[in-house]
Chains A and B, each alone.
Chain A
C-alpha cells in the first residue's frame, strides 16, 4: 500500500511531496543494532459524540489517507449472523441518504479519491485515499453514510451475491483458506474467533435486513470509531470539518463487551479436509498470546527465529536441508483476544505430511529446551525492527499502523514502545514463551488430503 495527502494548492504538490518527505518518523538515531526510537507527532482530538481523531501531518505527497477504524469485527457476531461485520463493510458503499447507491464511490473517484475497506476478527476499517483538495467532500461522504446509511433491499440482495462470490473465490477456490477455516474452527471451541470473518455460507444466504439495521446502530456509532488522518493537511482545518460533519451524529450506548474466553486446550486436535487437489497442505496452530499480553513481543521475535528469511530454522530444515517442503510460512498477528500462532506448510509432492510434522515438532522442542544463540537472537531482532520500520513508509501504512495499535493493542502510544520492547527480549524470554505456548496439547493440526477426482456435486 502507498498513498498520501495534501490540502492547500494540490497542484504544486508533487513537487513538495517528492522533495521533502518531511515528516514524521522517527528519531532514527544511530541504527546501532540496538534501538532507534520511533515517535510520531500525533495530535488527538475527541469529538463531543465520542469519536476520536488521530491526526498526523506528513507533507511528503499532496495526499491524505483517512482511515475509519470501527471497533467491530467477527468477534462481535453470533451464530446465525456470522460474516455480518464483513457484509457491512460492503453495505457501507451501497447508499445513504444524500449519496445513493453507487454515488459514494463515484463522487470519490470523480474527485481523484480511491478507497478500500477490510474486516478482521477485531475491527472493520474504511480507508479513503485522496488529494488534499478533496478533503471536504470526503467528510461529507463519510458523515452521510455513518449518519444515515440506507438499507435498500435491492442493494442488500445484490451485495449478498457479491459476498457469496467472494467466499467462493477466496475460500472454496483456495485450498489454503479452506483448510485454514477448518483449522481455526477446530482450534476454538468457545470464542467467536472460531468462525470465519467472511461467515458461513448459510449465514450469508439468510441474514435479514433487520439484522443489519440493529448491527449498524450498535457498532457504527461514532463513539465506537477512531479516525486516523495522515498526510498533507492543516490539523485545525480538519478538526473544523470533523466538528461540522461528524460531531452532530448522535452517540449510542457502548456495545456489550465480548466476554467469552477460550478455555485452555486439553489435548491435540486434528482435522482433515479431503478434496480434489494435486498437493497436500499441512497447517499447525498453537493458541498464543493476544496483542496486549506481555508475551506477544517475545513470541513475535520467536517467529523471526523460526520462520522469517531463508536463514530461519524452519526454512533451513524443511525447505533447504531436508527438502520436504516447498514453503513454510506463518506466525502470529495481533489480536485483541488470544489468537493462534500458525505454521502453514506446503509439502513437496510425494512427501508424507507426518514426516514434516515430526521435523516441525523437533524444531519446536529445540526452542523449548535450548537457548537460541546470541547472534540468532540479534538477527531476529534486526529483521523484526527492519520490518517494523518498513511497515510505515507511506501515509496509508502509517494510518493503518496507528489504527491497529489504537484498536487492537489498546493505545496508539504502544506503537512507540515497540522498538524498545523488541530490543529488551532475551534468549530466556524466547525459551520461556516456547515452553508456555508450544506444548503438544495446545495444538491443532489440519491436513488437506488430495483426492484424485472431484465430487460430481459442487460443494454439497
Chain B
C-alpha cells in the first residue's frame, strides 16, 4: 500500500542498539531499573555448538536466531568479496537431503519464515514457526546449516542476481551510501570491504570456493543458536541434540581482526550520480567496539546528538531549517571499532549549507556540551523506549544470541538501564571528546557532479571521485 511516513522507521537493530527504555518520570532519579529477563538456559553440545533456550508461551510460535561467528564478510579473502554473503544465502538452496524447491515448499507449507544474511562480523539467520512445527523447524535448520551442497546452477543464478542487485541498489543512493563510506573510512581493513561483493568480485567466485569457504568457516564450535518461544526446554534440547549432534567438530579459520585506525587528514569521496536531485551524505570517523565500556553511556549522548527526532542534528537540519527529511548519527555495533557516522540528504541547491550546518552542530556539541536537563531527557527516552526492544520472541532470541556473540554476560542486559541512569555530566563531556571527532573526518557525497564538486574543496584536501556506475564502491 502506498504510505508516507513522517519519519524513517527506527533501524531494527537487534535490541539495545540505539533507541529504547523504561520509565522514570523526569527529575525523578531512578530507583529500580533492574530488568528481569525470563529464565533461559545456556549450554553447549559435545561438538561445541552454543545453545540458549528461553520458554515463552504467550503465543504458539517458536523463534530461532543463529549466529555463525566465523561466517562474516571479514572472512572474505581480499578480492573475493561476497563469498560470506553468497554462502549464507545459498544454505537454503539445496542440501544433501532436500532440493531448493523442497526446502521452499516445506517452509511455505507450514507458513514458516527463514532469513539469512552476512554482516561484516558474522553470518546469521532467523526463523519463525508455529510451535507445533518446532520439530520440523529444528530438522530443517540443522539440514541447512550442516548439509548444504551449493548446487552449481543455484550458485550461478544467485551470483547473477546479486550483480544485478548491486545495480538496483545503486539507483537508490541511501542503499549504497554506507558501502562507499566504509570503503573510504576503513580502506584496506576488512571492515572496508563490501559484504555484498562488487560487480567484479562476484562473477569471479566459483562453487568450489564457496564449498571451501563453507567447510572452513561453518563449524559447530562457532555456532550460537538461540530459541525463544512456545516449547518445552527438555524436548527442545533433545530435538537439537538429535539434529545437530552428528555435526562433527572442526577448527574454523578465524581471522584475527585488528581495530581499524582513522587515517590522518580528512578524506572526501565524491560519487557522481547524474540524475540525482538530492545529495546524500555521510561523514564521521572510526567509532568503538560494541564491547567497549563506553557503548551504553554513549547511547545517552547520541540520543541527544543524533539518535531521536528532537536530536541536535535533526533539529538543525530538519526541524529548524527544512533542509532535509531526516538527519541522524550513530555507531555501528561491531566486534572491533566500527563506524561513527552522521548522515542526511538534501536537495541539490542546499548541499553546501546542509554540510556546513552539520559540521556546525558537531562543533557546537563540543563547545556547549549537554545540560543536566538534556541528560535527564535522554535517559527518560532510552528508558521509556526500552520495553519495546524486548517485546517479542524474535527480539529476545536476537538479544540472547548477540550477547553470546560479543561475550557479554546477561547482566549487560539486566543492568542496561542502571548504566544509562549512571551517566554523569563529566562522563558526557569525556564521551563527546573521545567519540565525536572534529578532525580527520571521512566524507562521502553522492549526487550530481556539478553540485558536489564545488562543495568538496571545503571538506578536505584528499578528494577522490568516481561515477556510481563504476564497479565497486
Contact = CB atoms under 8 A, between A and B. Distances in A.
B248 to A, nearest CB: 30
Nearest to A180: B2
Contacts of A174: 171-172
Interface in B87-123: 92, 100-101, 104-105, 107-113
B458 interface: no
A162 B310 contact: no
A387 to B, nearest CB: 7
A273 B154 CA distance: 33
Given A111-B26, A162-B324, A310-B104, A116 B277 contact: no
Given A19-B36, A63-B387, A121-B2, A162 B167 contact: no
A116 B58 contact: no
Interface stretch (B158-166, B236-244, B332-340): B158-166
A3 B168 contact: no
A378 B109 CA distance: 7
A196 B4 CA distance: 10
- By secondary structure, the A interface counts as mixed
B275 A116 contact: no
A60 B4 contact: no
A260 interface: no
Interface stretch (A130-138, A250-258, A413-421): A130-138
Contacts of B168: 278-279, 326, 346
A215 B9 CA distance: 27
Interface string A155-195: 00111111011101110111100001000100000000000
Size band of the interface chain A makes with B: 35 or more
Given A130-B384, A309-B107, A105 B325 contact: no
Contacts of A173: 172-173, 276-278
Interface in B166-187: 167-168, 170-174
B23 A131 contact: yes
Given A173-B277, A278-B171, A111 B384 contact: yes
Nearest to B374: A110
A213 B429 CA distance: 45
Interface of A: 1-6, 10-15, 17-23, 25-26, 28, 30-31, 36, 60-63, 86, 89-90, 93, 102, 105-106, 109-121, 129-134, 157-162, 164-166, 168-170, 172-175, 180, 184, 196-198, 275-279, 308-312, 316, 319-320, 323, 326, 333-335, 346, 348-349, 375, 378-379, 382-387, 389-390, 393-396, 453-454, 458-459
B25 A133 contact: yes
Contacts of B409: none
Nearest to A17: B387
A28 B303 CA distance: 40
B35 A15 contact: yes
B389 interface: yes
B371 interface: no
B256 interface: no
B296 interface: no
Residue from B34, B58, B132, B276 with most neighbouring chain A CB atoms (10 Å): B58
Residue from B105, B325, B380 with most neighbouring chain A CB atoms (10 Å): B325
Contacts of B383: 112, 131
Given A165-B322, A168-B278, A279-B164, A119 B7 contact: no
B318 interface: yes
Contacts of B60: 28, 31, 36
B64 interface: no
B322 A385 contact: no
B130 interface: yes
B33 interface: yes
26 contacts: A2-B391, A3-B391, A14-B35, A14-B387, A17-B387, A18-B37, A62-B23, A89-B6, A90-B6, A111-B26, A112-B23, A112-B380, A114-B309, A116-B9, A119-B4, A121-B1, A130-B384, A133-B23, A133-B25, A158-B322, A170-B4, A310-B92, A310-B108, A348-B161, A382-B109, A453-B274
A348 B164 CA distance: 6
B160 A348 contact: yes
Given A61-B387, A316-B101, 10 more contacts: A13-B387, A31-B131, A109-B377, A112-B385, A131-B22, A133-B23, A133-B25, A277-B275, A390-B113, A454-B275
